[in-house]
Structure 1
Amino acid sequence: MSSTPDEQTFADLGLADGVLSAVAGVGYEAPSPIQAATIPPLMEGHDVVGLAQTGTGKTAAFALPILSRLDLSQREPQALVLAPTRELAVQVAEAFERYAVDLPGVRVLPIYGGQGYGVQLSALRRGVHVVVGTPGRIMDHLEKGTLDLGSLRFLVLDEADEMLNMGFAEDVETILADTPAEKQVALFSATMPAQIRRLSKQYLDDPVEIKVQSKTATAANIRQRYLLVSYPQKVDALTRILEVENFEGMIVFVRTKHETETLAEKLRARGFSATAINGDVAQPVRERTVQQLRSGDLDVLVATDVAARGLDVERVSHVINYDIPTDTESYVHRIGRTGRAGRSGDAISFVTPRERYLLRHLEKANGTPLEQMSLPSVEDVNSTRLARFDDAITEALEARPRIERFREIIAHYVQEYDVPEVDVAAALAVVAQGDEPLLLSPEPEPPARPARGERTERGGAERGPRVARDGSPLATYRIAVGKRHKVEPRQIVGAIANEGGLRRQDFGAITIRPDFSLVELPADLPAETWDALRSTRISGKLIGLKKDDGPPSSRPSSSSRPAGKKPRHKKG
């Protein structure tokens, strides 16, 4: 289906007045190609298959027509959006709420693992119009009878290929079978593998197929890197980057207005020249702040996407995506704030373990792999601090008249108190530095592990407790799915990581037996992770996670191994 002319507006697409006013309120001026091609057939009641990358605006493409056609007098869910991860489910639900701001009474509920059941159950009892959820938690509610899809009119499969890659194919089909035959279905996927094509033929009725390529591209003169970092580590990671990177001006992008103020305040407390800018900042203040950045009176600007529109400052050498954007257009716009006027620039994106799928989508859409970087070490930071300390001393020594005056004062002190000059210099450094230490303390050494094959006094190989890549101890857990359920390691990792909020490096060996599987996970799983994983499903079956306290023979043996490792065979 061909895209519509550039002059088309949202008003031409037949959307409800309340939806149009919300669209104008969030600053959308014209529909993107996927929106212009998808909204009309959805408004007309057709099923749709949309082939589009993340970042092409597809959330609005299905959310706007659904909101335009809701029956607000009905309390049962009318629309269900299935998403592969809790993060995407939350983002889609937030988008629905943004677009429904001028539609009083619309209720949207995100449902995902890791969130307490109480909130979800009370919301379902009050009545909701739109449910956005992950397959595992939706299946759980269906089994408990707490989610009724009998009145469903709209079903959306978002990031369908990602859902299947994570092992949710059987769950998705079970959910589809539990929905009314008469409903409108929209399926969105970045690719069209055979399994997606089969789903489309089986569950969609003569769908309109729409294919849109993202036309955005990033500049070749911008170095693009990413840092894998947990959310609590972000402030420390940013602080270290600010200390180690050789930058002139920097823009740090965050998602919310509140976060701009909070982060700027934290940076100022750490001694950096930082100011926040967001949509609530008055225009005169904004102009003054940008001028400070341009002149060098300000080094770090913490901004939202909206506040940085049209910002053009040649001095900006670095852009930090403190919160990685959820769409390609925002990413391209953000990093385009550096590398101006033909200069080189640097863009660094913070990626939490749960956001890796966003990184893959950005790389795929832009055709540019991002370079992974390591968190600057304590040694890196201390080397930089010592170099700056040296520079400060060198600069002070060049101010000869002032040096001469202080030389006499120091000579008097040395003679009067019989203290070596080097000790006086060190004492003055302490005075200048204040209570803040010049150097960071060394990071703790990771626990030592015996070398492979190292023998103990008893003559056997020292096995010791298993540990994850970051040195934390692992334990063996049993789940109630195995070979007869046709599970694969990637399905186990995908389901447990997504629902339990774990990272890939939290996994050790995986052993798949006929009726169950053994998985090495952190020994001290928090209570909320336990709760989420107890209700997690793989191939439609509850995994029934529990600690494995069986005999050593039930532990992972030569048939199991961490990803990427070759099997180790016992010698006879």
Structure 2
Amino acid sequence: MNPFLELGIRHEIVNAITELGFEKPSPIQEKAIPVLLTGNDDFVGLAQTGTGKTAAFGLPLLEQIDFSQKHPQALILCPTRELCLQISKDLEKYAKYLDDARVVAVYGGANISDQLRQIRRGVQIVVATPGRMLDIINRNAIDFSSISYVVLDEADEMLNMGFQEDINNILSETPENKKTWLFSATMPKEVRRIAQKYMVDPVELTVGTKNTGNANIEHQYYLIKARDKYAAFKRIVDYYPEIFGIVFCRTKIETQEIAEALIKDGYNADSLHGDLSQQQRDKVMKRYRERNLQLLIATDVAARGIDVNDVTHVINFSLPDEVENYTHRSGRTARAGKTGISISLINVKELGKIRRIEKIIGKTFEKKQVPQGGEVCEKQLFAIVDKINHVSVNDDQISPYMPAIVESLQDLSKEDIIKRFASLEFNRFLDYYQNAPDLNIDARESGRGDRERGDRGRDRDRDRDRSRSASTGYTRLFINLGAVDEFSRGDMLGFICNNANIPGKSVGKIDMKGVFTFFEVQDHDVENVFQGFKAVDFNGRQVRIERSSGEDRSDRGGRSSRGGGDRYGKSHSRDRRGGSDRGRSYNKDFRDFSGKRRESKSRY
């Protein structure tokens, strides 16, 4: 008998989740579902991320709903729009064979009119972020008088994000006799208080130890000088050719800067942060889920609710300000029983924070050595060999070319051919890492040169120096495309490089405005930019490149100062990818790029 049937879940739901690959309940599901199916108690469930909490409350919730009624009977609150969408999609999949089951996702960044329209059509389960839910309540556009169940998912994170007052206001609109189910990865005092305020003798269930992380995650740290952090980060990425990871930064600015630097250095990377529009966020996440991105650079808030299979590594480029957030970050890997690695890049001053995290999660961090250049080259070489060994061969397609290939290589021995094929990629790493320095430091070192400046100061100076402009051989240019055209700075970098046929390292600072952008390019590539954009349009609009004279005054009086200078832009039909084969060269298999030191390529 199916174990979910034994727990009390009806056949229609079990059939749906079996199609999704559910074979047996996870520990939190096995313990929570029988309690929640009774529908008689408030409930507090503590379990780390990635353990199946959505099904733990979603399956019994579907059992409690009367789908013949078209009014809201359950409200699920969660911290971010990504998690909101994920929960609603999961519930719809679980309810695939239930007649008239309707779930509505309510979140900011999307058209509120569409959401209101869906609510008016009739809905039993509303999944919402607190801010947008409060907007709808204030419009008197929803009736919560028949709400029987409220689920607070990722309660600790909602409180960390400042939703305490919103949650209070929302819950005040629901009946007093409702049942409240609270799920959280950690149990800080704030979550304990909310349980005491809104629940009556809740059943409390803990899977594992409170505030601990997933047992399947290896926790590692690398001790380095602050000034070497970016170099060490790249070397670690290169050491893991198959990496498919999420990189966490403290701030939106740091997230964007690291992503841009990686793109310039040829990595398949992009950023995810709060300044992106919903459409931009969806585009980035689509690329990541499809593995067109190797590295997703994100803030804590933006990455909340990301549920992507087989994330191999979580990298803490900067440790979180709140130590408890480390549990949420590391939980993005090792989901659904898989294994994963959580890496932290730290300086000597941050060793104390690592020790505090160890106490909270009940795990010991392993100190690792930043790989030497030779070790990286060896790893990459055998990754190339493995790729060659497992490549699929389409005999029908390649057979017509084989005689010419054999003839071209007839003077080479088998060993020579193998050497040359392997060297095609290996030489890139060999050249780059030939004289690579040792980036490791001993914990007893004070960092001498770093003592007076912390991580953020060093990284900020490094990035400022890297992007500092015209006085060091850069020219500032203007392009009549900007944020309203749904470009991120990473998109713009790829668009410029692709059309001008220049490497990412030739582009300096990118200053994106609403309808236009200023960018810096090395002096010797300026003419390439003008030539490359002679015949480009974007969505039917002529693309124009100009030299910029004087400072940007767009923030003072609403007008920008641009010199007439050189100008190109003839109408010519091209699609958003730039209208050339180069625009389609973004590697569709992230494994085909393992941190190679090469010119960056973009989807655009």
Q: TM-score range by the shorter chain?
A: 0.3 to 0.5
Q: Who wins on radius of gyration, i.e. which is larger? A: 1
- In the superposition, the TM-score normalised over structure 2's length comes to 0.43
- In the superposition, the TM-score normalised over structure 1's length comes to 0.46
